[in-house]
Structure 1
C-alpha cells in the first residue's frame, strides 16, 4: 500500500509539478526556488514538499544555501532531493522484476550476452522504424525523456572530455567500461551505483554538471581558446536500474546496444562512460566533437 499512497500523492497538480521540478534538477532544491519555479507561494510549496517527503517520494535535509559558514552565514534552509527508492504499482499484482532478474541470470550463465546485445540493437532499430536518425542532441533528448532516461546536457570543457570526465566521474570504476562485443565475465565486480557518491561538495549531483536537468542551462561555454565547448548528453536515470545493479555488464551492454539501434547511423553516437548514480551511456554529436 505504501507505493499506492505515494503515487496517489501526485494527484494534486501543484504537488506533481513540484515533484517533477525537484526530480529534474538532480540536486538539492530549496523551498524558495521550488515555489518560484512552479508559480506558488513559499508556504504552499513547503506544505506540498513536506507531503512528498512524508510519502517517500522526496528526501529532505538542511543546508546553508549561501555557501558560507560561521557567524553571519544565516540559518540552514530546508532542501529536497529525489528519493532513491523506486515506486511502482500494478493492479492486479505482477512481478516483472523477478522475471527480468531470472532471465538476466540465465543469459549470463549461458553466455548469451552477444545474442542479447544483438537483439537489443535490433529492437532499437525496429522502434525507430522508418524515422531518420536523430540529427542533434536536442532531438535525442526528447527521445530519451520519453523513455524515462532523464537526460541533461553537460559541457565537456576540454574538447576531448578526458580531464573533465575523469573529474566528474570520480574514482575509477573497478569493473571498467562495458564492451557489448565482449562476453560477460560472471566474476566481474559490480559497478558502484550509490547516487550519494556522485554528489559534489555543494550538494549538486555530480561535479562538472553544467546545467539543470532540463538540459539547457549553461549548455554552451568557451573552452579557453575561443571555441565553443562541446556538449554531451548524460542521463540521470537508468530505466533498468534494479536489474543493472545485479548484472551490470550484461544490462549496461544491452542498454548501450539498444541506444545504438535507436540512434542509427546519424551524427549522434553513444559511448560507455560510467558515473555512479547515472546511466552508464553518454551520447555526443560527432559533428561538434571534431577539431
Structure 2
C-alpha cells in the first residue's frame, strides 16, 4: 500500500515560525495595524496608530508588540522632538515593517505525495518489466480508493477540499480550482495529469460516487481534471 503505517509518536515538531506569523495576522485588529504600519512612509508610534484606527492606546500597543514578537514589525527608538541631550526626553518606541520574508505553501500543494507515487511506479516497473506509466496509473487509482476509504465520512466535495483541490460547482459539473501538483504538472503535463486523473477516478470509485465521472479537461487556472455528471 502506498501509505506507510503510522510511526510511533516522537517529540513534537517545533512550530513553523512562518505559520505562526501568518496566524498572528488572522486577528482583524492586528491585521489592520500591520497594514497601517506597512503603508506608512516612516516608523509609526503607538499613539499615532491608535488614533488612525480609532483604538485605545493600550489595545494598539498590545497588538503592535505581538506583531514585533512575530518579527512582522521591527521596533526602533527615535526622539520625535528633534532635540537631543539632557532634557530631550526618552526616545519613543516606534514600529516599521520588517524585512522578513514569509513563505507558506498557499495554495495547497502535495509534491511529496506525487513524488512517492512516481518513485513507486519506477521501482515496480524496473522489478516487473511492466510499463512505468501503467504502474503509475494503477498506483494512483489505488491511492485514490484508499483516500476515499479513510475519508468515508466525507462526500466527494468534502474529500477533495480536504486534499487541496478547491472544488467548485460549474452547473452540474465540478471544476477543481487548484492542482496540488501544479509545478510538476506544468513541466510534465501528460505524466502528472494522467496520474491525477486516475487518482480522482479511484476517489470516486472508493466513495461509491456514481454521480460523477472524472475526465481530463485542462483549463488555465484550474486542475486538469473535471468531474462531469455520469452519462447514462
What range is the shorter-chain TM-score in? Answer: 0.3 to 0.5
Indicate the structure whose relative CO is greater, using CA pairs within 8 Å and at least 6 residues apart: 1
Between structures 1 and 2, the one with greater helix share:
2
| Structure having the higher Rg | 2
The TM-score normalised by the length of structure 2 is 0.47
